[in-house]
Amino acid sequence: MSLVFEEIRLNLPHIEVAAHLYGPEQGRPVIALHGWLDNAASFSRLAPLLEGVRIVALDLPGHGHSAHRPAGAAYNIWDYAHDVLQVAEQLGWQRFTLLGHSMGAIVSVLLAGAMPERVERLALIDGVIPYTGEADTAPQKLGESLRALLEVDERRKPVYTSFDEAVSARMKGVGAVSREAAERLAQRGLMPVPGGLTWRTDARLMLPSPMRLTRAHALAFVDRVECPVSLVLAEQGLMTEPPIRGLVDRFPFERHRLPGGHHLHLDDEQGAQAVASVFNAFLDR
C-alpha cells in the first residue's frame, strides 16, 4: 500500500483518536468516517483520488488505533456524532464535508440533521439511516444488551495464528470484502497477542444495541439535512432489498448506483475510481 497519508493523533476532551491525513493543507475540509468494525484504511484507495480536499480519515473510537471508550461507556451510534464534532472543533473547522461509508454514512446524516449549520456537504457510500426499532421491542432489546454486557470479555476475541488467517476471516465478515481490501483493513486493525493476532477493535462493539431509533426518528434526521447530498449505492451492497430501495428512492438526495459490493470504494481500483468520479464532480460544484 502506497503511503500517501500522514498519521496523526488528536487528543479530544473526552478521548484520543487516530486518523490518516490526505490532501493539500488548503483543500476543502473533509472528515471521513468508516463503517462498523473497519478503520481509517477503508479510505486508502479512495482518498488519494479525491481532488482539492483535505481529508481527515478517522479511526472512530473503539476501532483501529483510536482509544476505546472507558469502562461503563457505550458505543451508541449518536455518540460518534459528538466525536466528529470534537474533531472539527480541534481542527478549527466551522464548516466541513462528511464522507461516510456504511455506519460512517449514518453518523454523517445524524450530525448533518442535528447541526445543519456545521455540515457543508454529505458524500455517502451505501448507508443512510441505522437499523430501526419500534417502541414495543425496546424492553426486549435493552434486556438483550444488558445481559450481553454482563458477559463481555476482551479475552474472547478471536486469535489468529497468522496474518493470512485473519485476512481470510475478514473477507467473509459482515460486508464481505476482497482479499486486498481485507489486507488493508487488517494491516491497520490487527495487533499481536499471545498465540497470534487479534483485532484492535473494542469487544463491546459486537454487543447488541441497547436502544434503536424508531423509523420516524431516523427519517426526521434525513428531513433535517439542509446541505447537498450525493449517495453512492452499491448494486451488490447492503441496501438492495426492495423495501430499503423504495425508502432510499424517496430521499431528496442525488443517487448513483454503481457496480460492486458494500465496500466498492475499497475492494478494487475500478470501484474506487468510479466512486471518486462521482464525488469529484459533486465536491467541485
CA atoms of 105 and 268, how far apart (whole Å) = 20
The residues near 104 (Cβ < 8 Å, ≥ 6 apart) are 32, 33, 34, 35, 42, 60, 127
The residues near 20 (Cβ < 8 Å, ≥ 6 apart) are 5, 6, 7, 8, 40, 41, 43, 44, 47, 55, 56, 57
Is residue 47 within 8 A of residue 70, CB to CB? The reply is no
Of 42, 44, 66, 102, the active-site residue reads 102
CA atoms of 23 and 6, how far apart (whole Å) = 9
Residue linked to cell 455517502: 124
CA atoms of 220 and 143, how far apart (whole Å) = 26
DSSP code at position 69: P
Residue linked to cell 486493525: 189
The residues near 2 (Cβ < 8 Å, ≥ 6 apart) are 48
CA atoms of 218 and 141, how far apart (whole Å) = 17
Is residue 222 within 8 A of residue 251, CB to CB? The reply is yes
DSSP code at position 42: G
Q: At 134, which amino acid appears?
A: E
102 is annotated as an active-site residue: yes
State the catalytic residues: 102
